[in-house]
Amino acid sequence: MGGQLPQLFTIVSDEVVNGHRYVHVKPSDQASFARAIAPLVTAHYFNEVDARARLLRSAQELSLFSGEAFEVTEEDVQLALEEELDAVLPAAWKGDRKKHFDVQRSEFGEILAGEALKEIFGTKIPASRIKHKEIPDQQTRGADVIGVEDEQTTRVTLVLGEVKGSDQAKSPPGVVSGMEKKLAELVTDRRALLQELCWLQEYAEEPYAGVCSRLHASFILKKDKFDIVLAPLLVRTLDTHHENDPGTFKTNPEGFGHKIRWVSIVVEGDLFQIAQEVYRIAREGAA
């Protein structure tokens, strides 16, 4: 099955095997892809409308408390917003670490994965792991993407996503074993999953606060009233993508004890360079 999806992606292939699903997508328009995804990237780190309102309100209070009237011009505000945006985005790569450890490259993949889940499956993402991390230049911790589906029903589906990017020629690439380990841990280690549900309950945006609280209560009270789907999402380049990339997720999905939803996001070009370009455009957001 295939077809045109709104916004970012086109489905190249979509296969269901014994209830497990394997989807290959590509950007709908590779030429404009960086500019299309950049505003979505910015939104995970920075809300210009809120930042502007907060800055103007605080400037007014500062004037009142200091007893000294001063004028804040539009130019002052714009320069301040540009500086704040640059501060909350992960720093541009300076050659001080290997490219595949670059924070921009990693978080670009996580944002892509979240958008793919929303567009293809209608998954709701109650909270952004990136938005709520403490230090912009450090990697996020925990499950890369946590989503919910069927949230209006009596049995909610919890989607646990692990995201990796690889341009390694080998198939499956080495990162897939790490994805296997991480997702298997989440569903076999009760403490690890409870930590994720505690985080989700704390940071869920208001429309999803209720369902996330129900998930948490259901689990901690051992009245599990939800299903789990494991969603490994691999960002690949056009010249390295291979049908064997899912590895054990496809050869032995039953070993994970839950439905598998594999997504290959295949882009043209070098993953590192694409991420660099996207974040360069994102930095122009307040300009």
Domain ranges of the chain: 3-30+98-280
Distance CA 102, CA 23 (A): 26
pLDDT value for 285: 62
Cα distance between the two ends of the chain: 42
The answer to whether the beta carbons of residues 205 and 126 sit under 8 Å apart is yes
The pLDDT, as a whole number, for residue 72 is 82
Residues of the chain with pLDDT below 50 are: 1-6, 286-287
Q: At what angle do helices 74-88 and 48-66 cross, to 10 degrees?
A: 120
What pLDDT, on the 0 to 100 scale, is given for residue 4? 42
Pick from 284, 238, 285: nearest CA to 30: 238
Per-residue pLDDT at 5: 39
pLDDT at 160: 97
Which residue type is seen at 64?
Answer: L
**Sequence-distant (≥ 6) Cβ neighbours of residue 105 within 8 angstroms:** 99, 165, 271, 272, 275
**Rounded distance, CA 278 to CA 236, Å?**
16
- CATH architecture of the domain with range 3-30+98-280: 3-Layer(aba) Sandwich (3.40)
Quick one: pLDDT at residue 287? 46
**Residue-level pLDDT at 3:** 45
Which of 156, 182, 158 has its CA nearest to residue 234? 182
Per-residue pLDDT, 206: 94
